[in-house]
Chains A and B, each alone.
Chain A
Amino acid sequence: MTRASEGMAGKSPRRVSIDLKTLGPAIALLLLCIIGFLLNPAFISEGNLTNLLTRSAFIGIIAVGATFVITAGGIDLSVGSMAAAIAGVMIIVMDNAVETLGSGVPTVLLGCGVAIILGIGAGWVNGALTTKGKIEAFIVTLGTMGIYRSLVTYFADGGTLSLNFEVRGTYRPVYYDSFLGLPFPVWVFIAVAICGWLLLNRTAFGRYCTAIGSNEAVAKYSAINVDRVKTLTYIIQGLCVSFATIIYVPRLGSASASTGVLWELEAIAAVIIGGTVLKGGYGRIGGTILGALILTTIGNILNFTDMISNYLNGTMQGLIIIVAVFLQRSDWKLGKSKKS
């Protein structure tokens, strides 16, 4: 806690440090793109860049929510399982609605509505158990992670839930079609990012999140309704998971126990790569988005080369994540001059 507040205090006199923190992830992403281009010029083809952005949307949208949770000093491990469970229920609801509502837009809207309600509900459960139940967020969300994951396995009878073929036809454009050259998922990603940025940086709620994350006791004495704000961060997280699921389902029209595996860790990694402090008290939406792009780009580049053994993919990902955070955390230039 103290270190975080020191960092914040040290920032105002020295503009340079802010720039380094902001630019770190951007530089890392730029470097990755240059490497990608050098390995294979097809990397910067329009098709590949569109794929990259669209793919980043899932983790990116979830990570925007995670930025709020982490900034307020919490953690949510359940998002990947939550996405799978929501996707599963959405598919079941839509398949069952075909008979009454037909296979058109109303069915899809019903599915999306169900997803949003479930996301908010699941987020509220995580939040209430953490605040009212006074259980550590790590344990609560570890528990709900297992619950949601096994629920989707149960719904699918261990197999795969598939969306009705005609409904898929109606729903498919949500993932595959474009508006002004950008696929719809990217637009959703942009909208969520802008809303998230405004909420975190331009509202009292955002400042409350930061205050609670840096020192919960002080925030409480400053008449901030800590429980309510913290619960809200989990609800925002749940809502973000709903949005991600709504654009995920039309991609392959299916959900199974392997849907969204490890998304929680990717989302947390994106948040941290972006400069948000894992212990809370400082959050950056812009960084989170760059973090999500970096993670997707790593996977993409590894698919673009056969120089690195397939078995070492994890090593490369790990190395790049650590280097990216190192670039962004190292106050070396500034630290030396300041310490005296």
Chain B
Amino acid sequence: MLMRKTLGMMAVTGALAFAGSAVAQDTIKIGVSYPTPTHAWAAGMNWHAEQAEKRLEELYPDVDLILVNSPDPGAQASALEDLVSVHQIDALVVLPFESEPLTDPVLNVKKSGAWITVVDRGLSQPGIEDLYVAGNNPELGRVSAQYMKTRLKDGDNIVILRGIPTVIDNERFDAFMEEIEGAGINVLDHKHANWNRDDGFEVMQDFLSRFPDIDAVWAQDDDIAIGVVAALKQAGRDGDGMFVVGGAGMKETIKSIMDGDTLIPVDVLYPPAMIATAMDATVAAFKSNGPVAGRYILGATLITPENAANYYFPDSPF
């Protein structure tokens, strides 16, 4: 569907080019490249990218955003080449599939003179990008731990469900453990639940069988948290002030926080909408009188019933 849209857009830009070369020359072309959405978070990113495209093109008639998604690193490298050769982009916003294989292709785009904005996953060589926009993984762990400390007291027990064994997971976990240290809260055990609901459910079931006294759960992710909640309800251990802290900012979770759910009272933001932030900042690099280059690290905001409405996008798939 996106492909059709992109093709349609190419047709439109083509028509514009025929309409008058002066118009075409002044157009600022910005390529936006990211992995094909295969999971909810990425689908949310896709949605936010499309929203930002619509909004920015309405705001600036001379800005043309070209969204391309690719199913694997190789395809993304080719897509980057096409953006340069076919579209002659003035700027690139890229969320690399993997750091290593995409460093060179992005460097080649840079050599064509384009502005480079890298989102979420850094490249393996420093200094290529003009702007780096990312969520803050260690901060996500830290904010979660700080919230735990406000709710728990000395001697309370928690269990942790981790994601897929990756650098992202380690950063979150290490920062959490560092922050929770010395608070007298016992981390009974931590297991990988691979950022999915089924694993969250099964790992939590086993934790519940194994530990008779659990006061809170750090699930690190909203999908895992959904599995955790199902396991808690099945075992009838969802009362007594038990609470679960997830992360990311899934719309269902945010909705239930708005509604005052006590089992998942808060969420920690790691938003797929960061792609839109990156697109805004990249356009600003051409339009604003302020400097834009540098690093833009988003905060890992604690979402509470008070501020939840700001982060609720009911139409997004995530």
Question: A-side interface residues toward B, CB under 8 Å?
Answer: 40, 42-43, 45, 47-48, 51, 55, 153, 156-160, 162, 176, 251-252, 254, 256-259, 299-300, 303-304, 306, 310-311, 313
Closest to A304 in B: B210
Q: Which residues of B contact A48 (CB under 8 A)?
A: 206, 209
Of the residues B189, B192, B197, contact of A252 by C-beta under 8 Å: B197
Query: Which chain B residues lie closer than 8 Å to A40 at the CB level?
Result: 210
B40 at the interface (CB under 8 A from A): yes
Whether B210 pairs with A158 at a CB distance below 8 angstroms is no
Which residue of B192, B196, B227 contacts A310 across the interface (Cβ within 8 Å)? Answer: B192
A259 touches B206 (CB 8 A): no
A304 to B196, CA, bound (A): 20
In the bound complex, what is the Cα–Cα distance between A84 and B226 (angstroms)? 18
Tell me the bound Cα distance from A176 to B205 in angstroms.
13
Q: Which residue of A lies closest to B235 (CB)?
A: A47
B contact patch SS = helix
Known: A159-B40, A160-B223, A162-B252. 11 other contacts (CB 8 A): A48-B206, A55-B205, A156-B317, A157-B43, A158-B317, A159-B37, A159-B44, A256-B39, A257-B38, A258-B198, A300-B206
On chain A, the residues within 8 Å of B205 by CB distance are 51, 55
Q: Assess whether A310 is in contact with B317, with CB atoms less than 8 Å apart.
A: no
Interface size on B, residues (CB 8 A): 36
Q: Which residues of B contact A45 (CB under 8 A)?
A: 209
Instruction: Using known A-B contacts A51-B205, A251-B201, A258-B196, determine if residue A303 contacts B37 with beta carbons closer than 8 Å.
Output: no
Whole-angstrom distance between the Cβ of A125 and the nearest chain B Cβ: 23
Residues of A within 8 A of B234 (CB): 176
Chain A residues positioned under 8 Å from B209 (CB to CB)? 42-43, 45, 47-48, 51, 304
A157-B43, A158-B39 known; A303 and B206 CB under 8 Å? yes
Verify B191–A159 contact, CB threshold 8 A: no
Q: In chain B between 216 and 269, which residues have their CB closer than 8 angstroms to a CB of chain A?
A: 223, 226-227, 230, 234-235, 252
Q: Decide: B202 and A159 in contact? CB cutoff 8 A.
A: no
Min C-beta distance of B263 to chain A, whole Å: 15
List 14 contacting pairs A-B, 8 Å CB cutoff, sorted by A: A43-B209, A45-B209, A47-B208, A51-B205, A51-B209, A158-B38, A158-B40, A159-B318, A160-B317, A162-B252, A176-B234, A258-B39, A300-B206, A304-B210
Closest residue on chain B to residue A256 by CB atoms:
B40
Tell me, yes or no, whether B165 is within 8 Å of chain A by CB. yes
Q: A159-B318, A162-B252, A259-B198 are in contact. Are A303 and B190 (CB under 8 A)?
A: no
